[in-house]
Amino acid sequence: MLDYSEEAERYDASRGGEPRAAAAADAVLGLVPPTARSLLDVACGTGIVTRRLAAGRPAMRVTGVDLTHAMARHAAARLPGAVVLADSRRLPFRDCEFDAVSSVWLLHLLPGSADVGTVVAQCARVLRPGGVWITTVDKAASHNVGSDIDAVLASRPRRPARDEASVVEASAVEHGLIPAGRARFAGRGQGRSPLRTVADLRRGWFVTLPPGEPLAECFATRLARLPDQDRSRPDPWFTLRAFRKPPLG
């Protein structure tokens, strides 16, 4: 698992920067009801997407929350006075406080299925009746674009996907939310090259291949044999799902 305190300084540059953030924010806003006047961005990271959510809806109050101090510091510089340091499993907000809640690239990071249920419950709790929760699903699968890199990595050990769409939907329904739409967006600038994939492998990007272990180095060797080491393969496409909290009465 990556250390996001260390990752904060290079997070944006290593993940597509502003083009990717723009694509993500546009897709999220396309699922936010036009009447929404408040949005909570859970696990806002550096705030690169959160800032665009606020800019895209000037009349909507946008609040960001993140667990990692270094990430939240960057976000607070982008949205002064609008970022809270807190755990997504214990959101420090009142019940029914927000018209919309987003959680982009969060659920796949959670350590267990129980944590997913807890986060979904928290997002549902702070959502007003009639409001919408929007989240990414199937992140790991999104990175498989059918490239030669994916062919090399196909045999790597895997762990259960915490953000599998069917699992997320079942949890949302369990907590009183109903499916309300979906969208896709390109992870601009995130197409992998063999060189970049080896670097990610050696810094702990792939959680089942800890850096320095013989198996990780075996995959690194195979990746180093691929042609066009500097050429990025196609960008991934990410999926958003929206879930609505039924209005009262």
List the pLDDT tens digit at each of the 249 positions of the chain: 556 667 667 666 666 678 899 999 999 999 999 999 999 999 999 999 999 999 999 999 999 999 999 999 999 999 999 999 999 999 999 999 999 999 999 999 998 889 999 999 999 999 999 999 999 999 999 999 999 999 999 999 988 899 999 999 999 999 999 999 999 999 998 999 999 999 999 988 888 898 889 999 999 999 999 999 999 999 999 999 999 999 987
The pLDDT tens digits of the residues spanning 145-190 come to: 999 999 999 999 988 899 999 999 999 999 999 999 999 999 998 9
Comparing C-alpha atoms, which of 16, 66, 70, 18 is closest to residue 40?
Answer: 66
Instruction: For 122-191, give the DSSP string.
Output: HHHHHEEEEEEEEEEE-HHHHT--S-HHHHHHTTS-----TT-HHHHHHHHHHTT-EEEEEEEEE-TT--
Give the Cα separation of 83 and 80 in Å (integer): 7
Q: Phi/psi of residue 69, each to 5°?
A: -60, -45
Give me the architecture of the 4-143+160-191+235-245 domain, per CATH: 3-Layer(aba) Sandwich (3.40)
- Look up the pTM and report it: 0.92
Instruction: Specify the 3-state DSSP secondary structure of 91.
Output: coil
Q: Phi/psi of residue 93, each to 5°?
A: -130, 160
Give the Cα separation of 224 and 227 in Å (integer): 8
* CA max distance for the chain: 62
Task: Give me the residue label for tokens 């018209």.
Answer: 99
